[in-house]
Amino acid sequence: MVVAEDTRVAHRLLGALGIEGKPVWSYREQNAAAVTPGILDRARSGTVAVVTDAGTPAISDPGRELVNAARADGVAVEVLPGPCAFVCAAVLSGFELDRFTFEGFVPRAKAERERRLRNAYESRRTSLWYESPNRIRATLETLATIDPAMRLFIARELTKFYEQQVCGTPSQALAALADPPRGEFVLALAGRESESGEAPAESEVDAEIERALQRGESIPAIARALSSLGFGTRAELYARASSLRARRS
């Protein structure tokens, strides 16, 4: 049996592959509670394949709660890697991927959008984001105010017929978009680079530690992460983070 986010898309895929006679059930956020027991019942005696339209189940698509329900019910779960937009965009960007973050959808509210994007950029790590066609221009305009020279990669409709890829600055990406924009977007942002290999200023180090403390990270984790990003030695960062946390309490 096939469980699909959109049964129409699933039927087209099965037809293209010459697979016939398989029952296809709908599974999405709106009907998950109602259909989950029936899906698990079928999975106890046969194979159930869970698919989404153009990505990977549970990655900003339906599926996470179904996996948890199957685990709780003793039903085995396996995964076959398939297209996942943020992973594809990360690889296509060519940006540093030793450490990167997947941030999900860009916040809708202007102030929160700017705060989150700025924090991600200042972290010096590559960050991956999803965005809708209705807000992609506003997001790129926000990025231009953070740093007009920021390096980014933007992909539209990844793995689909009208796929588009753009590398460059926020203004270059804006110029490359159709008006109005259409489709689903993935953004890869390169983290801010240190200038001339200089050591970060103390205020910059403190700001990074404060952000990590606000996220609830432990002192050892903060020291380890910031040391790997060139903010100092682990011992120095551990002492600095401990001092800042004590000052906050």
- What pLDDT, in 10s, does the model give residues 97-127? 988 999 999 999 999 999 999 999 988 889 9
Q: Which token pair is 25? A: 């059930």
- What pLDDT, in 10s, does the model give residues 83-102? 889 999 999 999 989 889 99
pLDDT at 208: 87
pLDDT at 150: 95
Mean pLDDT per 10-residue interval, the chain, length 249 residues: 94 93 94 95 95 86 92 93 89 90 94 93 92 96 95 93 94 94 96 63 81 90 82 85 85
pLDDT at 170: 96
pLDDT at 207: 87
pLDDT at 228: 73
pLDDT at 55: 82
| Predicted TM-score (pTM) above 0.75 | no
